[in-house]
A and B are shown apart, each in its own frame.
Chain A
Amino acid sequence: DGGITQSPKYLFRKEGQNVTLSCEQNLNHDAMYWYRQDPGQGLRLIYYSQIVNDFQKGDIAEGYSVSREKKESFPLTVTSAQKNPTAFYLCASSKASGNLGRSYEQYFGPGTRLTVT
C-alpha cells in the first residue's frame, strides 16, 4: 500500500535529551513537511523540504533539526533547545510546487505523540 508512516506512535523522553522522529513515504513525492499540533490548536509548520538534500525552516523551526538524504525519508530531531517539546508531531508529503508554484494536496502520516518530562 502507498502511504506515509511515522514511528513510533507514542514517545516518552526525559528533559534535556534529543529525540528523532521517523517519517517515511512511498508515494514518490518530492516534497515533505513537519508540523506540530498542540491541544485544541491547528497545525504549525516546523520544516519543509521540496527536494532531496534541501530543506527550509517553517514558522517554528527553533529547537528542531531535519535532514533529507533520501527522497522517501525526512526525520525530525527535537533537540534539548526546544523549550516546549511535548506535542503531537505530524509529517506530510506532496508533489513539489514546481516552477508554477502550484499547491498540491498533502498526505499526512498518523502522527507521533511526544511527551517530555
Chain B
Amino acid sequence: DAKTTQPPSMDCAEGRAANLPCNHSTISGNEYVYWYRQIHSQGPQYIIHGLKNNETNEMASLIITEDRKSSTLILPHATLRDTAVYYCIVSQTNSGNTGKLIFGQGTTLQVKP
C-alpha cells in the first residue's frame, strides 16, 4: 500500500480556511486518496475522496496535484468543532483489495477562536 506523509500538527483561526497537506509520492494509478477525521474519543468520520480530479462536498474540498503525488484538504471556514485529527489515506482498487484502510499518525488540527 502507498504511504502518506502529513505534518503532525497545524493551527487555524476560526472562520479562516484550513489547508491540510498530504504527500503520497508513491501512489499508483489505481489508488484513491481518502480523508477521514477523528474528533477526540469518537470514531473516525469520512470526509471526502478522489482519484484524479478535484472534489468538493458539503464538508470540504480536495485538491489533487496533476502528478497525484500530493493533495490538500480544504475546510473553507473552520469552526471550533473542526478541531480533530485528520487522516490522509490512499486505498487501492484491484482484485485483491480487501477494502482495509491503513491509518498513519494524521495531522492534529487545532482551530483557535
Contact = CB atoms under 8 A, between A and B. Distances in A.
B98 A48 contact: yes
Contacts, number: 71
A48 B46 CA distance: 18
A106 B98 CA distance: 12
B95 A48 contact: no
A108 B44 contact: yes
Interface string B55-99: 000000000000000000000000000000001000111111111
Contacts of A109: 43
A62 B35 CA distance: 29
A103 B32 contact: yes
B100 A100 contact: no
Interface of A: 31, 33, 35, 41-45, 48, 50, 56, 58, 88, 90, 92, 94, 96-97, 99-111, 113
